[in-house]
Structure 1
Amino acid sequence: MRREKFGRKSEKLDPEQFNLPLEDVELAQGVLEAAQEKARRALKGQGRAESGTLNRNRGHLPKHLPRVERIIEPETTLCPCGCGEMTRIGEDVSERLDVVPAPLRVLVTRRPKYACRRCSGAVVQAHAPEHVVPGGLPTEALIAQVMVAKFGDHLPFYRQAEIYTRQGITLDRATLGNWVGRACFHLKPIVEHLRERLKGAERIFMDETRAPVLDPGRRKTKTGYFWAIVADDRGHGGAGPPVVMFHYAPGRGAVHALRFGEGYRGHFVQCDGYDAYDKLTRVDRPEGPWTLVHCWTHARRRFVKRLEKDGSPIAEEALRQIAELYAVEKSVGGLPAEVRLAARRALSAPIIAAFRPWLEDNVQILSHI
């Protein structure tokens, strides 16, 4: 199971590769449907607004979005029989998602100077505000937009530069990189504050995920890893805000887990079954070794796949017992720690006590899952 989950998968295609042809198929499907709708309207003699509408993606749009209403009245409300003005008896209402493209603008700052006409000895002027790029072109809002596009939307600097070029603004990738680098420097105090909050958390979550990175000189990418460390007790009655930090490392060995966990004062690490985390239980630190807390989701996932594959009754029974544990957790979610502990001792512990010998009795069959 561990080899399947954590071993090399170089023989498998990256799932993202499937998205490209699928997107082409979806695009072609949209063209086909538009042509069919136009043909149906022509045959029925209907206008565009009178044709039947598809119910696809017609869920309720978020309430927080502003609504801009428009009312489309008939050309005339006079009765065609000559009876006079018609009475409104109802209306059809539809909602569509719209976008207002973000316009670029120039922020002009003026700092008037004042002097005394009598003595001419004093001149006053407001101090110039500090900027991330002193005397430079961008506002902090523009830099924030570049950073979100880069790190949140994975849009490289050169592509962002092309977007600005279409609006008549010439920016090269080096300039954008310099802006972001300066912003990262000024954000360091916030990063350190987040790190200190994480270090004081009693429980943390740790996981690593692949990330393709450029490999200079080879004109290709290599595999790096982002390690995420999270503290989030909102689902367990905690009042503190969630905190997450990402660390980059060239690999996923235990040395990185140990390095990223230096200085942390908690006692529990929730993680998957990857062997590298086992070394956290042998680390020498004032608080003592870490206690690993594994996640039932990873174990459950294998049984789900086996049940979907061949309807295995062993997998079905395992999922039933795991579901009982999930039901206990759902019933005490958000309650104080002592209440959750009592429920787990009274309800979850007996389930685990019965589940373990069942797993041991079926170990030969389970080894193929």
Structure 2
Amino acid sequence: MRDGTKAAPETRKKRHRNIGALPAHLPRVDMTIEPDTTTCPCCAGALHRIGEDVNEVVDRVPAVLRILRLIRPKYACRTCEGAVMQAKARPRLIDSGMASTALVAWIAAAKFAWGSTLYRQAQILGGHGLRVDRQTLARWMKQAAWTVKGLYTLQLATMHGYARLFCDETPVRMLDPGRGRTKLCQFWAHATDDRSWNGPAPPAVAYVFASGRGKKEIAAQLTGFEGVLQVDGYGAYASLAADTKTLGKIRLAFCLVHARRHFVDVHKTTNSPFAKEVIERIAAVYAIEQRIRGLDADQRRAVRQAETKPLMDALKARLDATKDGISRQSTLIKAIDYALERWAGLTLFLEDGRLEPDTNIVERSIRPISIGKKNSLFCGNEGGGKTWAILASLLNTCKLHGVDPETYLADILERMVSGATKNNRLHELLVWNWKAERDARKAAA
């Protein structure tokens, strides 16, 4: 700078931009553009090729609806004319219906993975000249969810088998015809992801549709789970952990980001210097977390004990020292009380390198539900809510693994309907196992 002082280091992450490195796995189609003439303008001789310039752009082939004619020839013997042979009709996802498995997978992925609605899907199909009402599409989704329900249940049970689980919830409206209005229900999100320390739990999310948001609902979902539950400060989780049936089986790790949000709100409204100080102290904690991401659990714990624990101890001392001189009516005291009342859970990550300091993993995973309910406004009934939960769980887990949801759903539906994958081998269709199998086949080819 002109005054001789150094500029503050840039802390904002650089934006990830595609500067031309297009995906290698996409097929290449050559389009050669020849000049108007290959005759030399000077001597009228034939020009010969000396090189070429190649530019690559991402292209798209529009989706094409087609009629798949399933033909089963009949064969008879000309000699005895007694026997007639014909292949058996293959099982279909929509029995006696007009939709193939691929079409159902396309509609399901558009709604439950990418946030579209059945109403819009019906309009898109109408643009192709195919008129299908929204109720028919809903029945197709219900049939698809019924088919994969066992796989969804297996995924949820597999996730509960790990000793660390994230949990969050978000409200959703459901039609209540008896009262002529909607009533409030809940989507609960369960998530796992050990990639930050190279642990065994794969990135996964499973949604559960429930009529309420109380302890009863979450207790029913976590039957058999034992370990650390990483959650926000909602009271139902504390009640669950304190229940005699789960006492000692479930420990709560609270979210440092949620605690920080209260101080951010205070600083925005009052410009409190103390709130700003707390925000800066928490930022120092996250600077350490960014540096140790990817290390194993023991290394993370060692760094946290040596560097993060003194920061958190100093923060607690400041909170304790400041709260006594603040009015009980202020918003700042509420932010301080929120943090101090949950301090044991907020600092549990210091003792266990496998834990995260926040619940950002499940916060990100529940976002597709939030987008979907904003677009759809409500679900029609309890069955529709459960269909939503089942299909959204599998399809959004695909996105966490970099797997195309439509390709995955079409494949597993076909395997299950045809009987190629039996119930005792459903684990092969879990997204991470399915992806590993496909990657192994590609590597061997």
Q: Do both share a fold (TM > 0.5)?
A: yes
Matched to 2:160, the amino acid is K
Q: Quick one: distance in 1 between partners of 2:259 and 2:99?
A: 49
Does residue 298 of structure 1 match 2:264?
Answer: no
Does residue 225 of structure 1 match 2:225?
Answer: no
**Residue of structure 2 equivalent to 1:234:** 195
User: Aligned-pair distance for 1:303?
Assistant: 3.2
**Residue of structure 1 equivalent to 2:333:** 367
Matched to 1:142, the amino acid is L
Does residue 274 of structure 1 match 2:234?
Answer: yes
1:116 is matched with which residue: 77, 93, 100? 77
Matched to 1:123, the amino acid is V
Q: How does 1:184-263 map to 2 (within 5 A)?
A: 184-216=145-177, 220-263=181-224
2:309 is matched with which residue: 349, 352, 357? 349
- 3-state SS of 1:131 partner: coil
Q: Quick one: distance in 1 between partners of 2:197 and 2:232?
A: 20
Q: Quick one: distance in 2 between partners of 1:298 and 1:127?
A: 59
Q: Quick one: distance in 1 between partners of 2:264 and 2:34?
A: 55
Q: Quick one: distance in 1 between partners of 2:301 and 2:151?
A: 35
Q: Quick one: distance in 1 between partners of 2:54 and 2:77?
A: 67
User: Aligned-pair distance for 1:92?
Assistant: 11
**Residue of structure 2 equivalent to 1:147:** 108
- 3-state SS of 2:173 partner: strand
Matched to 2:215, the amino acid is A
Q: Quick one: distance in 1 between partners of 2:271 and 2:39?
A: 66
1:169 is matched with which residue: 130, 141, 146? 130
Q: Quick one: distance in 2 between partners of 1:356 and 1:249?
A: 37
**Residue of structure 2 equivalent to 1:28:** none
- 3-state SS of 2:213 partner: coil
User: Aligned-pair distance for 1:76?
Assistant: 8.3
User: Aligned-pair distance for 1:75?
Assistant: 7.0
CA RMSD of aligned residues (A): 3.5
Does residue 128 of structure 1 match 2:89?
Answer: yes
User: Aligned-pair distance for 1:129?
Assistant: 1.7
The more displaced of 153-162 and 323-332 is: 153-162
Matched to 2:239, the amino acid is K
Cα deviation per residue 1:19-41 (whole Å; 9 max; x = unaligned)? xxxxxxxxxxxxxxxxxxxxxxx
Question: Is the 2:231–2:254 Cα contact (8 Å) retained in structure 1?
Answer: yes
Matched positions, count: 310
Instruction: Name which one, 1 or 2, has greater alpha-carbon Rg.
Output: 1
Q: Which runs of 5+ in 2 are unaligned?
A: 1-15, 336-445
Q: Quick one: distance in 2 between partners of 1:257 and 1:315?
A: 33
Q: 1:103 to 1:61 in 2, by over 3 A?
A: farther
2:22 is matched with which residue: 45, 53, 63? 63
Question: Is the 1:116–1:123 Cα contact (8 Å) retained in structure 2?
Answer: yes
**Residue of structure 2 equivalent to 1:9:** none
Q: Quick one: distance in 1 between partners of 2:252 and 2:237?
A: 8
Q: 1:90 to 1:130 in 2, by over 3 A?
A: closer
Q: 1:74 to 1:125 in 2, by over 3 A?
A: closer
Matched to 1:355, the amino acid is L
Does residue 322 of structure 1 match 2:288?
Answer: no
Cα deviation per residue 1:330-358 (whole Å; 9 max; x = unaligned)? 23222222222222222222222221111
Cα deviation per residue 1:42-89 (whole Å; 9 max; x = unaligned)? xxxxxxxxxxxxxxx985477226666767788789999x8999x999
Q: Quick one: distance in 1 between partners of 2:270 and 2:109?
A: 44
Question: Is the 2:93–2:101 Cα contact (8 Å) retained in structure 1?
Answer: yes
User: Aligned-pair distance for 1:279?
Assistant: 0.8
Q: Quick one: distance in 2 between partners of 1:222 and 1:79?
A: 78
Matched to 1:137, the amino acid is M
TM-score (norm 1): 0.71
Q: Quick one: distance in 1 between partners of 2:281 and 2:271?
A: 16
User: Aligned-pair distance for 1:238?
Assistant: 1.4
The more displaced of 326-335 and 274-283 is: 326-335
**Residue of structure 2 equivalent to 1:33:** none
**Residue of structure 2 equivalent to 1:7:** none
Question: Is the 1:212–1:222 Cα contact (8 Å) retained in structure 2?
Answer: yes
User: Aligned-pair distance for 1:132?
Assistant: 0.9
Q: 1:164 to 1:135 in 2, by over 3 A?
A: same
Question: Is the 2:74–2:84 Cα contact (8 Å) retained in structure 1?
Answer: yes
Q: Quick one: distance in 2 between partners of 1:121 and 1:89?
A: 69
The more displaced of 246-255 and 186-195 is: 246-255
Matched to 1:191, the amino acid is Y
Matched to 1:208, the amino acid is E
Q: 1:58 to 1:290 in 2, by over 3 A?
A: closer
Q: Quick one: distance in 2 between partners of 1:151 and 1:237?
A: 29
Q: 1:94 to 1:231 in 2, by over 3 A?
A: closer
User: Aligned-pair distance for 1:321?
Assistant: 1.9
Question: Is the 1:283–1:289 Cα contact (8 Å) retained in structure 2?
Answer: no
Q: Which runs of 5+ in 1 are unaligned?
A: 1-56
Question: Is the 1:225–1:252 Cα contact (8 Å) retained in structure 2?
Answer: yes
Q: Percent identity?
A: 38
TM-score (norm 2): 0.60
